[in-house]
Amino acid sequence: MYAADYHVHSTCSPDGKMTMSQAAEAALRAGLDEICITDHVDTIYWGSNEPRDSFDWDASMTQYLEAVDKFGDKLSIKLGAELGEANLAFDRAKILLNSAKKLDFSIGSVHTCSEKFHCLDLYFLEAGKSPDYYAAVIEDYLDSVLAIARWGRFSVLGHLTLPLRYLKEHLNMDLTFDPWRDRVQEIFSTVIPKGVGIECNTNRGNRPLPDADLLRLYREMGGEIITLGSDAHETKDVGCVIRERQQLLRDCGFRYFTTFTGGKPEFKKL
């Protein structure tokens, strides 16, 4: 059965620890048929939150062509981007996307709170706050996700339940989006008519983002476009539990998952 990992970061991302060629080689070892490199292209600089309106696409293309030259006869290698924090500056997001030489695919994602919380990276949520504080953070996050969903200039919405990853893995808080199910429905009802999909992020083998409950909701609402991505930043995670999450999609009512060429979705049978 065809297997593709559509969320992979190279050293062209500030947190990437592998070249695109190394990612491709790891994909072959994992038995994948296709990968898409989706480096972070964010409207702010990591660590400083300073405005960003440029990305080194030349370095990205150089790595991409090298990977294709080495492994393109054995593996389909696509070039994408993870467009982060578009909600903080849609004008800069548009500039970043339009300056790309070639993109097959893009992920729209949110990793930070809004200006209301001083653009706090969700990774750095602190322990010891009140339940109302964490609820407010999740609500703020969903406001930002809804904003990028309405904008809609990307292929799929990335790791929808990202705050739950950090609350669980860093703070040992096992929460769900159940109190905000209506907000999630609003997000789905926004992206589906636009032909924008969602990602099932395998979270490197941990709780998928989103998990079965929201995946079923998306499918029941008519959602069809869905990619599978490991969010790998190093070779050991490329392709992580992709095939297991294919089964999860089948269990949630999907018959196909999606890959992309030149921004156009292509449906692969599960």
The CATH number covering residue 263 comes to: 3.20.20.140
Structure tokens at 241: 């539990």
Give how many domains the chain has, as a whole number.
Answer: 1
Q: For the whole model, what pTM was predicted?
A: 0.97
Alpha carbon distance 150, 144 (integer Å):
10
Instruction: Supply the pLDDT for residue 49.
Output: 87
Place of tokens 């070249």: 19
Q: Which of 115, 128, 65 is nearest to 88 (CA)?
A: 115
Domain that holds residue 107: 4-269
Instruction: Supply the pLDDT for residue 48.
Output: 84
Instruction: Supply the pLDDT for residue 22.
Output: 98
> Cβ-count burial of 119 within 10 angstroms (0-12 exposed, 13-18 middle, 19+ buried)?
middle
Alpha carbon distance 44, 5 (integer Å):
26
Q: Output the tens digit of pLDDT for each of the chain's 270 residues.
A: 999 999 999 999 999 999 999 999 999 999 999 999 999 999 999 888 899 989 999 999 999 999 999 999 999 999 999 999 999 999 999 999 999 988 999 999 999 999 999 999 999 999 999 999 999 999 999 999 999 999 999 999 999 999 999 999 999 999 999 999 999 999 999 999 999 999 999 998 999 999 999 999 999 999 999 999 999 999 999 999 999 999 999 999 999 999 999 999 999 999
**H or E element: which one contains 134?**
helix 131-151
> Cβ-count burial of 50 within 10 angstroms (0-12 exposed, 13-18 middle, 19+ buried)?
exposed
Q: Which of 132, 5, 29 is nearest to 80 (CA)?
A: 5
Helix (H, G, I), strand (E, B), or coil: what is residue 15? Answer: coil
**H or E element: which one contains 21?**
helix 20-29
* DSSP strand pairing (256-261 vs 34-42): unpaired
CA angle 71, 72, 77 (to 5 degrees): 105
